[in-house]
Amino acid sequence: MKMPPNIGRAPRRILVPGITALALGLALSACGAANESSSSGKSDISLDGAGSSAQESAMDAWRSAFQKDNTNVTVNYDPSGSGAGVEKFNAGGIDFAASDSALSQDKGEIDAAKKRCGADAIEVPNYVSPIAVIYNVKGVKDLQLSAKTIALIFDGKITKWNDPAIAAENKGVKLPSTTISPVHRSDESGTTANFTDYLEQAGGWSHPADKVWPIQSGEGANGTSGMVAAVGQGDGSIGYADFSQAGDLSSAKIKVGSAYVAPSAEAAAKALETSPMEDGRPASDLAVKVDRKSTEAGAYPLLLASYLIACPTYDDSKTADTVKSFLSYIVSTAGQQAGADNAGSAPLPASLQQQAAKIVDTISSKG
Amino acid sequence: MTILVALAGVAIFLIIQGIPALGADPSDLSGKPNLLAYTAPLVFGTLWAALIAILLATPLALGVALAVSHYAPKGLAVPLGYLVDLLAAVPSVIYGLWGIGFLGPRLVPVYEWLEQHLGWLPFFAGPASTTGRTILTAGIVLAIMILPIITAISREIFTQTPRLNEEAALALGATRWEMIRLSVLPYARSGIVSAVMLGLGRAMGETMAVAMVLSASGVVTFNLISSTNPSTIAANIALTFADATGLKVNALVATGLVLFVITFVVNFAARAIVARADRSVSR
């Protein structure tokens, strides 16, 4: 097993200079980076935000577009989750928050936000995304399901794809006898909260809406990517995910009124437009009570509406101006279009967009 | 000394942060009525996954270690040893990806076969998972991850068997396997136990690979092949921590404290076994 000496040594002769070169290169590039940041470091205002991870890609698009137009501003966003974002905002640690669910009266979030701001906090919808019911059944392309059937499937009451309940809604489609494997998110997520809310309200589900999947059966997958991968791999799987992330998987049409509607940005925006406002909210709070049972033609009520939360006044006029212009940009038609282009979200319906813009416009500095 | 301070620091942190979780209500505990009901399935899952991994990994690891130390010719033994050690260098995320993308789907037909033919056993009761993301898959991935630890330690111990003992056995007419049973294994027993316990510790604490591979639902079941599986403490923390606030964080830290205590108990048990084995050898 002894190698001839020259073979054994050859790699080392290459290796040593190689490592040196690499180290030198690293050191040089580090210097370069250091120089760059010190010469262009003129950003004098920075905004800090945190919250919804669903909004992350849209927020990235908004931040980079906003920073391009306002070179002296840095906007930081920590997608640490809606709950954490609201908590940090109410504790005064950040300038704005983004949350997949409107501030909750029961949890005292509205009062806490009021205390932090010294007045009723601002809450406007800024990100709307349809949630697709994705499935992977060999040979089945155009599945149509009612909320009731979806609820029974995820409850484990319907176990085969050729169940009469599914067949009745899909006349003329040849359904296989494959076992249904319902997939849910194993982590906490706003998508789960909205999906279970839909099942509970429109599908007569007995389990309460929650960020955590409420029943202990079926397959669990971590994150949207895990969900899409799990449904993509298992024949007979069905799951739910942000429509923009569904990829090649087929999405079921869901029953609205007497027709079946496919998920799309427009249909989600329509469902939001026809939904009433949440009761008992201050004027600066635009929380929408999504009408899951909507029978409006062409509306897709299985959607996630996410909110921006900010204060109506800030101590420092610079911060107030920057928050105002950043938030104005997000809820503007241009900002909504940028979100739609980059994250596949649905632009806010016009009426809601104008109301949101009006509310954001009231942000000012104290005194 | 530094180690003691670090350990004490971790323990104090876990206790202080974990205690408020005793007052957590169901909304902070994924709907479970109290902390005990929340933690119990996780403890079960942790031990169950680790047990599967140990059962799979130990015989294989000891076989490989013996092959390297006593059976294989030098030319084969050395590369084989390196190869097994290399398994330890693969990051756990990679194992997770491999488990989801490669191992799981390939195990689906196996699980279906098990359900059809051995379905009367509670372990294989089914319904078989269609993605292969079961606790058995997670156990196999864990077994591969702890294989290098157990192999490396046992191999070192096997090669340290006194040459005289081995030659004495051979001189008495023992075959190679009898020689190993008479001289190598008794000598190495305590070493093997510590190797297995180290592996067990790794298996119980492994986070990322389990979080990615396992389709977890927080149940208590011995079913190995269905898509409804118990979660493990570490994986549950990784999955829920990102979006946790308030008392929920405390509850997660409390489960972390439980894991800390379990690993401690396992380690002490290992010490005790090793100490007893040493005494009986020296007697």
Mean of the per-residue pLDDT values of chain B: 87
Answer yes or no: is pLDDT of B274 > 80: no
In single-letter form, the type of residue at position B247 comes to L
CA dihedral (A97, A103, A104, A105) in degrees, to 10, reads 120
Token duo for residue A161 = 């794809």
Q: What is the DSSP string of A220-274?
A: EESHHHHHHHHHHHSTTEEEEEEGGG-TTSEE-EEEETTEEE---HHHHHHHHHT
Residue of A222, A235, A236 lying closest to B239 (CB–CB): A222
Closest to A239 in 3D by CA, of A171, A316, A286, A186: A186
Closest to A208 in 3D by CA, of A197, A223, A216: A197
CA dihedral (A17, A18, A23, A28) in degrees, to 10, reads 90
State residue B62's pLDDT score. 94
Answer yes or no: is pLDDT of B234 > 60: yes
Q: What is the pLDDT of residues B113-172, one digit of tens each?
A: 888 888 888 888 877 888 888 899 999 999 999 999 999 999 999 999 999 999 999 999
Which residues numbered 218-257 in A keep a CB inside 8 Å of some CB on B? 218-222, 226, 229-230, 233-237
B127 contacts in chain A (CB < 8 Å)? 179
Beta strand A181-185 pairing with A237-242: parallel
Burial class (CB in 10 A: 0-12, 13-18, 19+), A155: middle
Measure B230 CA to nearest chain A CA, in Å: 9
Q: Which uninterrupted H or E stretch holds A123?
A: strand A122-136
In single-letter form, the type of residue at position B15 comes to I
Token duo for residue B224 = 């190995």
Please tell me the distance from the alpha carbon of residue B154 to that of residue B61, in angstroms, as a whole number.
8
B107 Cβ contact list (under 8 Å, min separation 6)? B132, B134, B136, B137, B140
State residue A38's pLDDT score. 38
* Cα–Cα distances in angstroms (integers) from residue B38 to residues B46, B99, B258, in the given order: 13, 27, 12
Token duo for residue A182 = 């319902």
A82 contacts in chain B (CB < 8 Å)? 243
B77 Cβ contact list (under 8 Å, min separation 6)? B67, B68, B69, B71
Mean pLDDT of B195-204: 90
Please tell me the distance from the alpha carbon of residue B197 to that of residue B203, in angstroms, as a whole number.
10
Answer yes or no: is pLDDT of B259 > 80: yes
Interface test with B, best of A56, A222, A224, A231 (most B CBs within 10 A): A222
Question: Cβ contact (<8 Å) for B245 and A181?
Answer: no
Question: Cβ contact (<8 Å) for A181 and B216?
Answer: no
Three-class SS state of A80: coil
Q: How many C-beta neighbours within 10 Å does residue A68 have?
A: 8
Q: What is the pLDDT of residues B65-116, one digit of tens each?
A: 999 988 888 888 889 888 888 988 999 999 999 998 899 888 988 988 888 8
Angle between helices B233-241 and B247-282 in degrees, nearest 10: 160
Token duo for residue B267 = 């380690």
Mean pLDDT of B184-192: 88
Residue of A186, A222, A234 lying closest to B130 (CB–CB): A234
Q: What is the DSSP string of A175-200?
A: ---PBPEEEEESS--HHHHHHHHHHH
A236 Cβ contact list (under 8 Å, min separation 6)? A136, A137, A161, A176, A178, A179, A180, A181, B130
Measure A360 CA to nearest chain B CA, in Å: 27
* Cα–Cα distances in angstroms (integers) from residue A174 to residues A151, A165, A166, A169, A297, in the given order: 22, 14, 11, 12, 27
Question: Cβ contact (<8 Å) for A219 and B78?
Answer: no
Q: Chunk chain A into consecutive blocks of 10 residues (it has 367) and report each block's average pLDDT, rounded to whole numbers.
A: 46 52 50 41 77 87 92 89 86 91 84 90 92 91 91 90 91 88 85 91 86 82 84 89 86 90 90 86 87 88 92 90 93 91 88 91 84
Angle between helices A56-69 and A317-331 in degrees, nearest 10: 120
ipTM: 0.70
A308 Cβ contact list (under 8 Å, min separation 6)? A96, A97, A98, A122, A123, A124, A125, A126, A327, A330, A331
Answer yes or no: is pLDDT of B16 > 50: yes
Report angle CA A162, A160, A193 to the nearest 5 degrees.
115
In single-letter form, the type of residue at position B18 comes to G
Query: Would you say the C-alpha torsion A263, A266, A269, A275 has a positive or negative sign?
Result: negative
Please tell me the distance from the alpha carbon of residue B95 to that of residue B98, in angstroms, as a whole number.
5
Residue of A211, A213, A218 lying closest to B227 (CB–CB): A218
Measure B110 CA to nearest chain A CA, in Å: 14
Q: How many C-beta neighbours within 10 Å does residue A347 have?
A: 19
Query: Would you say the C-alpha torsion B96, B102, B104, B110 has a positive or negative sign?
Result: negative
Q: How many CA atoms lie within 13 A of A335 on its CB side?
A: 25
Please tell me the distance from the alpha carbon of residue A140 to that of residue A174, in angstroms, as a whole number.
7
Please tell me the distance from the alpha carbon of residue A364 to that of residue A312, in angstroms, as a whole number.
6
Burial class (CB in 10 A: 0-12, 13-18, 19+), A177: exposed
Please tell me the distance from the alpha carbon of residue A163 to that of residue A270, in angstroms, as a whole number.
32
Question: Cβ contact (<8 Å) for A219 and B129?
Answer: yes
State residue A16's pLDDT score. 52
Kindly report whether the peptide bond that precedes residue A4 is cis, defined as omega within 30 degrees of 0. no
* Cα–Cα distances in angstroms (integers) from residue B81 to residues A177, B73, B147, B150, B193, in the given order: 49, 12, 12, 12, 20
Please tell me the distance from the alpha carbon of residue A225 to that of residue A233, in angstroms, as a whole number.
12
Residue of B75, B132, B243 lying closest to A84 (CB–CB): B243
